[in-house]
Structure 1
Amino acid sequence: MSVCEDCKKGFNWNGETVGTETTIGESQTYVTGTSKSAAILLVHDIFGWTFPNLRILADHFAKECNATVYIPNYFGDEIVQESTMDDPEKWAKFDVGAFIGRQNKEKRWPEIKAHAQILKTQYPKVGAVGYCYGGWACFQLGADPALIDCITMAHPSMVTKEEIAGVSVPVQINASEHDHAYTEELKEYGNKVIPTRGVPYEYVFYPGVRHGFAAKGDQSDGTQRVALERCKRATVNFFNEFLH
C-alpha cells in the first residue's frame, strides 16, 4: 500500500463530542476538559483539527487523564474533510504529497512551539500527543523539557533520526506493524538510541495493523478495534504516569 493510500484510508467513528471551540494564540482550537493541573496538546493528522475521531479521543483523554486537551488548527484554511476517506472521487483527487508540501515543518513548527509555550504558562504539567503528521512535532517538542513534560505518538510520520536522537523527556511510541512512515529502520533506530537518552521510554507494538489505525481504524474489524482501543489505553496510562 502506498503512502497516499495509507494516509487517506480510514473509517469514521460513531460518537458525540463534548468539547467547545476556542482559540489558542491566533489558532482555532478544540478544547475539552476542565483540569487546572495538566494540559495535553494534541497535534492532529492530515484530517485536521475538525476530525471527529480525534475530538472523540481528546474527550477520552480529558476524562481519563484529568487533563484539559487542546487540538489547535495547524492547517489554516485548508481543511481535509473526513468524507475523503470514503468518497472515491475526493479520495482520488487528494494529493497527500502536495498537501504535506504546503503544510511543511518549517511553516507549522513556530505555531506548535508557541502553543506549548502558552500552555506551560497556564498549567503545571503539559504533555503532547501526535497522530501521523503530529509525530514529528512531538519529537521536536520533546527535545526541550522547558516546552513539554512528556510526549506520546501513534504511527508517527515525517520523523528524522536527528529528531529521535534529540528526545529529552519521557516518550511513548505506539507503532503499527505495517508503516510506510515509521519504517522498520526508524523503529530499530529509535529502540536503540532512545534508551541511551536517560529518559523513560515505552515502545508499544501493534501487530496486524497499518499506519493510521489509532486515529481512523475500522471498529468493525476485530484486529483493528483491539489495537485502537489498546492504543488509547496505553496513551491514557502514559499521561497518568507523567502528568500527575
Structure 2
Amino acid sequence: MSLPICENCTKGTKLPGTPKGSMIKVAGIDTYLATPPGPVDPQDAHKAVVIFTDVLGLPLGNSQIIADGFAKQLGLPVYVPDMFNGTPPITPEQMTSVDHFEIGKPRPFRNKLRYYTTLMGVIPNIIFSNSPGKVTQRMDTWCEGVRKERGVDRLGAVGHCLGGMVIAKLAAKSGLIQVGVIAHPGPIKQAEVDKIDFPCAWATAEEDDSFPQPFAKEVEASFAKREQKSKVPYEFVYYPGTMHGFAARPALHIPVVREAFEKVTEQSWRWLETYL
C-alpha cells in the first residue's frame, strides 16, 4: 500500500487567527461550517464549497481559518468535514516547524530520522482507521449527506494534500463534485485523473514527493490530449520555491511561501467563482 504521508506532511505552521464558524453534523460526521458575513444570494442557495483537509485534519485549525476566508470571499457556506473521524494521522503536537527550506538539497539526517520515527507511529492509524479507501468512502457518504441534509446540488471541492487525493478518488462517482481545486495532492493515479469530469484547477509545488513535477506535467498533458467528449476546463499553476503543503500549512515567515499561499488562495477563489 502506498502511504499518503511524505516528510513535508509532518511539517508546517499554524495560521494566525481564530476560527469563527461552528461545528455541525453532516451524515453523522463532525463538520466545521463557515458562513458568509451576509445573506447568501438566493440564486446561489443551492451552492456550497467543501475543503478536504491535509493529514492533520480539523485539530490544527488551519482548514477552518482558510474556510472562513473562502466563505467571506465567495459569499457561500464552506464546509470542512472531519475526514479522519477524530483520529487524524498526524496531530498538531507531532507537526514540526519548517526548519529546512533549500529546494533540491537533501535534508539533514536528523530530519529524516524524525520523519521515519513519526511514520512508524502513523502506519497503524492509516491501516486500521484512515486508509485512502476508508477516508474516500467516508467522504463519499458526506457528499451524499450534504445534498440530502443541506440542500446542496452544486458542490465545489478544494483538496489540500491528502484531501486532493480524495477529490481524485471521488471523481470515480460522476456527479458528486461539480468543480474541483487540487493543491499538491497525495499519491494519485493517472486512471483516477482520467475520470475527472468537472472543471479542475491544480496547484503544484516545486518540491513534492507525493506529486512530483514530472508526473504533474504528465497529468497536465493528459487533460490536453483528451477526446472532445471528455474535455473539461483545467489549469495547472506551478509555484516555484515551494514544497508540498504550502497551501495548507504555509511557513508565512518565508516570503516566497507567503506569496505562494496568497496566490493559491486567490487561484482557488477565482476558479470557484468562475465555474461553481
What TM-score do you get using the length of structure 1 for normalisation? 0.90
Q: Which residue of 1 aligns with 2:27?
A: 25
Between the aligned partners of 1:60 and 1:37, the Cα distance in structure 2 is 20
Equivalent residues in 2 for 1:120-131 (5 A)?
A: 120-121=147-148, 122-131=151-160
Task: Trace 1:29-68 onto structure 2 (pairs within 5 A).
Answer: 29-33=31-35, 35=40, 36-68=45-77
SS in 2 for 1:75: coil
Q: How many residues align?
A: 241
The question of 1:113 aligning with 2:140 is answered yes
Matched, 1:223 2:247: no
Identity %: 25
Contact 2:156 2:177 in 1 (8 A): yes
CA distance in 2, matches of 1:241, 1:100: 36
4+ runs deviating over 6 angstroms? none
- Cα distance in 1, alignment partners of residues 185 and 8 from structure 2: 13
Give the deviation of 1:16 after TM superposition: 1.6
Residue 147 of structure 1 aligns with which residue?
Answer: 176
Residue deviations 1:3-32, cap 9 Å, x none? Answer: 642110111111121110111111111111
CA distance in 2, matches of 1:104, 1:163: 17
Within the candidate set 82, 106, 114, 2:92 is matched to 82
Task: Name stretches of at least 5 consecutive residues in structure 1 with no aligned partner.
Answer: none
CA shift, 1:124, in A, is 3.7
Q: Aligned-pair distance for 1:228?
A: 0.5
How many angstroms does 1:161 deviate by?
1.0
Letter in 1 for 2:92: E
Alignment pair present for 1:95 and 2:119: yes
SS at match of 2:156: strand
TM-align CA RMSD = 2.2
How far apart in 2 are the matches of 1:201 and 1:58?
Answer: 23
Q: Secondary structure of the residue that 1:172 maps to in structure 2? A: strand
Partner of 2:13: 11
Q: CA deviation at 1:120?
A: 3.2
Q: By how many angstroms is 1:55 displaced?
A: 0.8
Q: Given the alignment of the two structures, is residue 178 of structure 1 paired with residue 186 of structure 2, yes or no?
A: no
Return the offset for 1:92: 7.1
- Counterpart residue identity of residue 139, structure 1: A
